[in-house]
Structure 1
Amino acid sequence: MKMLKMLSVVFLSAMIFTACNDDNTTNGKGKASIYITDAPIDDDNVAAVIISVNSVEANGPEGWETIDEFEEPVDIDLLSYQNGEAFLLTENEMDAGTYSEVRLILNIQEKVNDQIQNEGSYIEYLDGSKEPLFVPSGGQSGYKAKGEFTIPVGGVVGVTLDFDVRKAVVKAGNSGNFILKPTIRLIANQDAAMINGHFEPDNLDSAGYNKVVAFAYENDTFTESETNEPAEGEIRFPNAVTSSVIIGGDFTLAFMKSGTYDLYFASYDENGGYVELIGSYQDVTLEAGTKLELDLELNLLN
């Protein structure tokens, strides 16, 4: 059964679009609120993925413009902001107009003249050990997200950056370094939609599934190769728009653009290893600014 509702309070809090004061109207200014969110990572041994942000910039009518430059780097655990939760990184006045991308200048390890610099961004495991994250030129040219949004004169626009660390964090070849790949999505919040899905918990437990993940694909883009054993530095389900671990029968796919999607469900073992594709649910249509409630059963899956 499908039921369409307006977005919940948590999700709606990242979608505010309101009027500002008259001063902004007269000087051609508006405000941008920049949020950060994430999708789950495959490795169940990872406790946290920390990124450290020095500043935020956007490419707009006058070229690159600084949204905010922090006195101290802002550290964010991406895994704490999933299932429609988002971290408000900054809200600041900017020139009104249309912008095409946002970049984060990161406090992250780089090799400069054969010397390692900065250690602000890293992966932390359940045993307390840490591995530094590297982004080529992440502390200089920045970590970029492409996507269009418009700041109205005298108004506020919310923009969410979806890191999806499942895709972003990879181990790079012979070096053994963990690289933060530029896979980040940019969504103007007034255009975003959400799916809240629900299985009866016994429905999954009785089938013997240890862990099930829901993947969302743009309509008719999934192929069988998505489940193939990935090459080094790659992942399964590489073209999924977003994903969500099913917990207690519930899953949330948030900050999605309007359109039609197909949902695919995969089981994993107790170590986070992929087992099999257990089915799909096709032709889910989303409209901007709405939350779609889905009540599902295994026998409904294709």
Structure 2
Amino acid sequence: MVRRNLSKLALALTVVLMASCSEDDAMDNPDMGGDTNSTSIYITDAPVDQANVQAVFITVSDVMVNGESIEGFNTTTIELSSLTAGKTELLGQLNLDAGSTNDITLKLADTDAAGNAPGNYVMLDGNIKDELGGAMEIKLSDSAEIMSEMENELVLDFDLRKSIVQDGDDYSFVSESMLESNIRAVNTANAGMLSGTVDNSTEADAELVIAYVYPKGSFSDSEEEMNSEGVLFANAASSAVVSSEGDFEIHYLDEGDYELHFASYKDEDADGMLEFNSMIGAETSGALDLNGFTVDAETETEITISFTGLLGL
């Protein structure tokens, strides 16, 4: 009886020790156990309005999601303005718990990847660098859903059009708080794409036409006025330049209902910079309503558009 009881005790202790070791391993190695999901983190951009801007560069020194940095991340200088029309640059990968992210932080450096200042700048005509701002931590106001039992792709949409402002010949970032609210975080599994063709784009009589997409019901005439930081159309979800052939694409839109608006730009005072000219009337040839349409996840919504003239002129 003693031996039998000792054997039972030894077995019980073994089970307890094994369970304890398993818990310790799970804490020391988050990839073991737990509902963590491989997540690739990318960065993308929406276009810059000004024609005299050749490129925009930022230097990222760290990327954190839910308090965890991308392991082995090296300070990287990114030509952000080249990442339009769905193009992205991979920042790295993390294993994240399923559910909504509670913290996404981008750290910007004041020198580039080679150690030269500035780290964040606009490249103007003549290869002139105009510093946008120094080192800062951008804690995104937005969040994204991490899906369980699948590989996730998390895209950070910097949207330079809403993130930099111009004062004469100088460019700078908007305030840190506005930067934090401007950058969107999107899981591609929950996002769709909008593509369009304007069959008479010359009717806009413009040097540049931009398509702005808004959550349905959120656009108002006040969007045509600069906000307190000098940004037009500040509440647009995203935007795209309409090409000379009349084509445009807006990527990484959270699934939902949207409305679409077009604006024309001209260099009206011959200062080499484009100014907002007018809104453009538009209609579709199909059943889709520009004032209310749906973008579904992992789906491309296609629109054919005709301009009907400039509004308010």
Normalised TM-score (structure 1): 0.77
Describe the superposition over 1:101-156 as per-residue Cα deviations: whole angstroms up to 9, x where unpaired.
Answer: 311121137xxxxxxx9621111112211111226x61xx4453521322535x42
User: In structure 2, what is the Cα distance between the partners aligned to 1:204 and 1:30?
Assistant: 45
Residues 1:232 and 1:142: Cα distance change in structure 2 (over 3 Å): closer
Describe the superposition over 1:51-78 as per-residue Cα deviations: whole angstroms up to 9, x where unpaired.
Answer: 111111112xxxx11123423x111111
Of stretches 38-47 and 203-212 in structure 1, the one that deviates more from structure 2 is 203-212
Q: Pick from 279, 282, 286 the counterpart of residue 291 of structure 2.
A: 282
Q: Pick from 262, 266, 269 the counterpart of residue 265 of structure 1.
A: 262
Residues 1:69 and 1:269: Cα distance change in structure 2 (over 3 Å): same
- DSSP-derived class of the 2:144 partner: strand
User: In structure 2, what is the Cα distance between the partners aligned to 1:277 and 1:300?
Assistant: 9
- DSSP-derived class of the 2:189 partner: helix
Question: Which residue number in structure 1 is paired with residue 71 of structure 2?
Answer: 68
More helix by share: 2
Indicate conservation of the 8 Å contact 1:101/1:148, yes or no: no
Which structure 2 segments of 5+ residues have no match? 1-29, 268-272, 283-289
Superposition RMSD in Å: 2.7
Q: Is 2:100 the counterpart of 1:104?
A: no
**Residues 52-91 of structure 1: pairs in structure 2 closer than 5 A:** 52-59=59-66, 64-71=67-74, 73-91=75-93
Identity of aligned residues (%): 30
Displacement of 1:273 in angstroms is 1.2
Normalised TM-score (structure 2): 0.74
What letter matches 1:40 in structure 2?
P
Give the length in aligned residue pairs: 259
Question: Which residue number in structure 2 is paired with residue 211 of structure 1?
Answer: 208
Q: Which has the higher contact order (CA 8 A, sep 6+)?
A: 1
What letter matches 1:287 in structure 2?
D
What letter matches 1:48 in structure 2?
A
- Please tell me whether Structure 1 or Structure 2 has the larger radius of gyration of its CA atoms: 2
* Structure 1 residue runs of 4 or more that deviate by more than 6 Å after TM superposition: none
Indicate conservation of the 8 Å contact 2:60/2:76, yes or no: yes
Displacement of 1:253 in angstroms is 1.1
Residues 1:227 and 1:98: Cα distance change in structure 2 (over 3 Å): closer
- DSSP-derived class of the 1:167 partner: helix
